[in-house]
Amino acid sequence: MSKYFHSVELDADRCCGCTNCLKRCPTEAIRVHNGKAKILTERCIDCGECIRICPHHAKNATATKPEEIENYKYTVAIPAPSLFGQFKNLDSIDIVLTGLKKVGFDDVFEVSRAAELVSEATRKLIKEDRLNKPIISSACPAVVRLIKIRFPELCNNVMPLFAPIEVAARIAKREAAEKTGLPREDIGVFFITPCPAKVTEIHSPNYTEKSACDGAIAISKIYPALTHAMDHLTEVEPLGNSGLMGIGWATSGGESAAMLGDKYLAADGIENVIRVLEELEDEHIRGVDFIELNACSGGCVGGVLNVENPYVAQARIQNLRKFLPVSLNHLEDGELERMLWENELTYDADIFRLDKDISKAMDMMSQMERIASGLPGLDCGSCGAPTCRALAEDIVRGKAKETDCIFKLKARIQNVYDQLSNI
């Protein structure tokens, strides 16, 4: 079994090997061989780009099934703020929160509440000058994994604070245990998720050994039952406890705006994120304290497990925020220290290392350069690797051969033909 858990999976029966997904993958984690795609699990960051692009619906995200909440005596839903952008004509988040109780949860705790605490903690850490600047937000798990895999030198710039999901899950579980007297293992805390990267993060967290969250249910899976419940409410409970600052985290720029300063930068969409990280690595970005990066366009409203168009959801979120106070949640004594990461963010060097033996790895590297320089450099993808360089690497690793390149194959056939013609 792979040591890497992933929410994003391939449905091989649906895959026809069209290679559409090959070039979209930001970590070159896809190969297509024998007419089927394959995900290199050690490189996948669960960004969901391949789900978005596949015309044959051959890539899926696995998440917790809604019926799994029945395995617990008491359950708490912790909805992502992007959930509030999924419904037409919504004038209060209380309707969504009451609806979540109607579909089977015993209680709710908005992740936007925890987002306000994370924002306050970030402002405090910046003010106290306790972190390497510019600080990169740790809220988007696809971005954190991208940094681990492609930009290891930036690991020390990633904010060492739990993301709002983890903070919400820990507070929700503690409060539910105090309220019910039940042991923590009988209390199930479920994130209502807009993206597969968060499913993976809950299952295999970067920052701690075990997440306090017991599962992540896709917004798209709970949406039909939730809209039905919301349409049939006889009363709406006043459950909401977030300000506009926390709800704003649903869209790109929301987290930065909560810094209450002007030395920040916010980028969204995986290509833009990569461009910012490359410039940061080359030290071309200066005068910025905080960098917010979201792998999905528009921020979390753009996650592949949402149901609504991200721009429509964004407009709805802006509208909902108009009627809210700025912030309703503030740090208690000692809370910031409890939010600090328990594990350091480390680079998994084995992912790209050609060999453990350094001199062998150097030999393989020069072999790879030689092979790459003999390939056409068109990055056409017809060999099943995303670039000619990736094919050269696969050849050196013994996972592909030079004649997988159609130009090389054609040249080889021509050569044989010429030789036979001369006999």
Report how far apart, in Å, the C-alpha atoms of 44 and of each of 120, 124, 148, 284, 391 are.
32, 34, 11, 27, 18
- Determine, following the binding rule CB under 6 A, whether residue 25 of this chain makes contact with ligand SF4: yes
Contacts of 410 (CB under 8 A, 6+ apart): none
- Applying CB under 6 A, the span of 13-21, 78-86, 131-139, 355-363 interacting with ligand SF4 comes to 13-21
At its nearest, how many Å lie between ligand SF4 and the CB of residue 24?
A: 6
Question: 55 or 287: whose CB is closer to ligand SF4?
Answer: 55
Show the binding pattern over residues 46-85: x = contacts ligand SF4 (CB under 6 A), - = does not: xxxxx---x-x-xx--------------------------
DSSP class of 308: S
Is residue 15 at the binding interface for ligand SF4, with CB under 6 A as the rule? yes
Helix ranges (H only) for 89-216 are 93-102, 111-127, 141-150, 164-180, 196-203
Closer Cβ to ligand SF4, 32 or 167, answer by number: 32
Residue 305 interacts with ligand SF4 (CB under 6 A)?
Answer: no
Contact status: 8 vs ligand SF4 (CB under 6 A): yes
Give the single-character DSSP code of 194.
S
Q: Which of 31, 32, 78, 313 binds ligand SF4 (CB under 6 A)?
A: 32
Q: By C-beta, is 19 or 98 nearer to ligand SF4?
A: 19
Residues 193-252 binding ligand SF4 (CB under 6 A) are none
Rule CB under 6 A: say whether 104 interacts with ligand SF4: no
Greatest CA span in the chain, whole angstroms?
91
Q: Within a 10 A sphere around the Cβ of 23, how many other Cβ atoms?
A: 15
- Nearest 5°: phi and psi at 75? -130, 145
User: How far is CA 30 from each of CA 1, 227, 319, rounded to the nearest angstrom?
Assistant: 19, 36, 40
Q: Confirm or reject binding of residue 37 to ligand SF4 (CB under 6 A).
A: yes
Residue 18 as a binder of ligand SF4 (CB under 6 A): the answer is yes
Under DSSP, is residue 31 helix (H, G, I), strand (E, B) or coil?
strand
CB contact at 8 A, 166 and 189: no
Is 385 a binding residue for ligand SF4 by CB under 6 A? The answer is: no
Burial of 303 (0-12, 13-18, 19+ CB in 10 A): buried
What's the min distance (Å) between Cβ of 294 and ligand SF4?
14
Report CA-CA distances (Å) from 90 to 86, 123, 167, 194: 9, 31, 27, 18
Contact between 39 and 10 (Cβ < 8 Å): yes
Question: How far apart are CB 394 and ligand SF4 at their closest, in Å?
Answer: 16
The residue within the footprint of ligand SF4, chosen from 5, 17, 103, 106 (CB under 6 A), is 17
Residue 143 in contact with ligand SF4, rule: CB under 6 A: no
Nearer to ligand SF4, 150 or 321 (CB): 150
Whether residue 108 contacts residue 78, with contact meaning beta carbons closer than 8 Å, is answered with yes
Q: How far is the CB of 110 from ligand SF4 (least distance, A)?
A: 27
Are 230 and 96 within 8 A, CB to CB? yes
Specify the residue, 113 or 145, whose C-beta has the smaller distance to ligand SF4: 145
Taking the complex as a whole, the smallest distance from the CB of residue 199 to ligand SF4 amounts, in Å, to 11
Interface stretch with ligand SF4, choices 20-28, 62-70, 361-369, 386-394 (CB under 6 A): 20-28
- Contacts with ligand SF4, residue ranges (CB under 6 A): 8, 10, 15-21, 24-27, 29-30, 32, 37, 39, 44-50, 54, 56, 58-59
